[in-house]
Structure 1
């Protein structure tokens, strides 16, 4: 009973640890966020939305129409509207080409870096003017790049090209939530390991408990994926209201939470590894047959068994079939789990060779 309670708690803590790791690495790391913003810009839906916004900001349709009417002869004044539409279409097409250029990408990275540094300043306790006005994505440099390509002079007044990402009245809630996730990251990860180890240690049937530990990680990973999907649907609906911006909003959510999905998949894979180890250490006929078949290598040539396991892991990682979120840490965890599994199977195989099952 105690083992089940500990493993159930481990499932909940795994979710918190995953959210903390995602917040710390993808939301609070400026370099990582700049990389993420670059990935966003390569998405076709976001390119279209960005191009439409920049062209609208650059080409003030009512103002252009009024100027055309003033400059055209009275008989041609009705053409002001269609000509304005043509200017806007030209700006939109040009913006899409400009967005794909390297010069625009560099400006985009710097813009997102500045916006993210604003966010970090607020989260870390800046309560001055920045906190009151909110976090602003200043796209005026991007407007300058587009204006230079088209050959017009952009306006530099008001809020043209300035997107308010977070308002000042919402930043306090965001600050508290993000700081909480960041602060509990390492503590929740350590607690997760303790709960998993304790849940297996106190169980009367340790192979079965090992399978329960794997199930806890699998359930946690699946829950994270489900919550990501449900939350994404809600956020996208709120932001786009099923309008023209929905594809861009969906792409933004998908890319911005990609690391969270990777963490969830990694947890699922680790859970499957633990479950497989529990099955191999169990008392089923199939498990005994596998142990008898591998006993000559496990017992007499353990170095060969370790080499085979390392080679299989390397192939899975290089082939992209095994998630490596966390880089070297993920690979190290895989190696430690595989090594512990080989040692446990070797010990069981030795015991069964000495005392064969009746």
Structure 2
């Protein structure tokens, strides 16, 4: 294969790798956000820490309590017969008191624990339905806030309506579930297939490059650009989604907080991809034929040739710092850690071989 054809093929593979990297990160984010129960519970708990979300939740709980017959019955029982017609307007006015009480309740540890249990239960329903549980399919996914509503009613000295549907939110049911199943199964396939394809494209792009160092730089640029594109898409998508939600009557603060928190994992993965891309670019530059790279290699020749083990140890420490800080993709996965260690070892070995050859050539 001619150098021009190899260069062209390598460039095409690396451009495709950039596109596939974007798809792979989006698939990994959606997969973890939708299918990981612990991630779902942590995200919902972080949402409740936002004041705008607390206000929206307090308003919902107070509305559900006031709309039920509990407060009105309490007022009717305490009013004289002639004043009982005032029970309805007084119950409506009690909504402000209930909302203030709900805000204080939401800040308590007991409510936070109930909130986590509620979201964990709802997500397990979702997973069971996705996996084909026909018993839950008819009811769909239900976020049951009746325990929280019961605590609020107890704080106000009333008994909540146990027979109505107040405090239950139906998230998914009916025909939507079939679509969700298809989406989830597609995500599960996409997550692993896209990662494998990405690795093949990166390896192929580097292997076919006429200059191996330039191929490594190209692979790093592909990852770097993919990470930056994802960060831009997240920011632009946030403005679009929040504007749509606000136009449909949602609170802007709650909508902004929800988008920011639910996509924080996407931001972290994209940022890690940027860091990995920068590391690859630096590694490729260090192995290149530029004058500055040659000077760096000459300076490091004694350390690499005489103390290669110490150099690898230093690189390994730096790698562990990046992994501990979560600055590399899949930093918590064992397979990724092993892969990074192997690549670091291979890089130090290749650099040592290169400086040895250059030392012999200069002698």
Settle same-fold status: TM greater than 0.5: yes
Alignment match, 1:213: 219
- For the structure 1 residues 76 and 151, does the alpha-carbon distance in structure 2 shift closer, same or farther, using more than 3 Å as the test? closer
Deviations 1:147-191 (A, max 9, x none): 122221112233311112234232322221221011222222122
CA distance in 1 between partners of 2:262 and 2:165 (Å)? 26
Q: CA deviation at 1:208?
A: 0.9
- For the structure 1 residues 64 and 321, does the alpha-carbon distance in structure 2 shift closer, same or farther, using more than 3 Å as the test? closer
CA distance in 1 between partners of 2:355 and 2:202 (Å)? 25
Query: Equivalent of 1:12, from 19, 32, 38?
Result: 19
Query: Equivalent of 2:109, from 91, 102, 105?
Result: 102
Alignment match, 1:224: 230
Alignment match, 1:201: 207
After TM superposition, the structure 1 stretch with the greater mean CA deviation from structure 2, 254-263 or 203-212, is 254-263
Query: Equivalent of 2:313, from 307, 310, 313?
Result: 307
CA distance in 2 between partners of 1:79 and 1:147 (Å)? 17
Q: What TM-score do the two structures reach when normalised by structure 2?
A: 0.86
Q: CA deviation at 1:51?
A: 1.2
Q: CA deviation at 1:237?
A: 3.3
- Structure 2, unpaired ranges of 5+: 1-7
CA distance in 1 between partners of 2:64 and 2:87 (Å)? 22
> Mapping of 1:157-172 within 5 angstroms?
157-172=163-178
After TM superposition, the structure 1 stretch with the greater mean CA deviation from structure 2, 182-191 or 274-283, is 182-191
CA distance in 1 between partners of 2:113 and 2:94 (Å)? 26
- For the structure 1 residues 98 and 75, does the alpha-carbon distance in structure 2 shift closer, same or farther, using more than 3 Å as the test? closer
After TM superposition, the structure 1 stretch with the greater mean CA deviation from structure 2, 13-22 or 261-270, is 13-22
Alignment match, 1:322: 327
- For the structure 1 residues 139 and 76, does the alpha-carbon distance in structure 2 shift closer, same or farther, using more than 3 Å as the test? closer
Query: Equivalent of 1:338, from 344, 349, 352?
Result: 344
Q: CA deviation at 1:107?
A: 1.6
Kindly indicate whether the alpha-carbon contact (under 8 Å) linking 1:61 and 1:88 is maintained by their aligned counterparts in 2: no
Aligned residue pairs total: 354
Alignment match, 1:148: 154
Deviations 1:106-141 (A, max 9, x none): 221221122112221232234x46434432211111
Alignment match, 2:45: 38
Q: CA deviation at 1:284?
A: 0.9
After TM superposition, the structure 1 stretch with the greater mean CA deviation from structure 2, 240-249 or 41-50, is 240-249
Alignment match, 1:123: 130
CA RMSD of aligned residues (A): 2.9
After TM superposition, the structure 1 stretch with the greater mean CA deviation from structure 2, 327-336 or 37-46, is 327-336
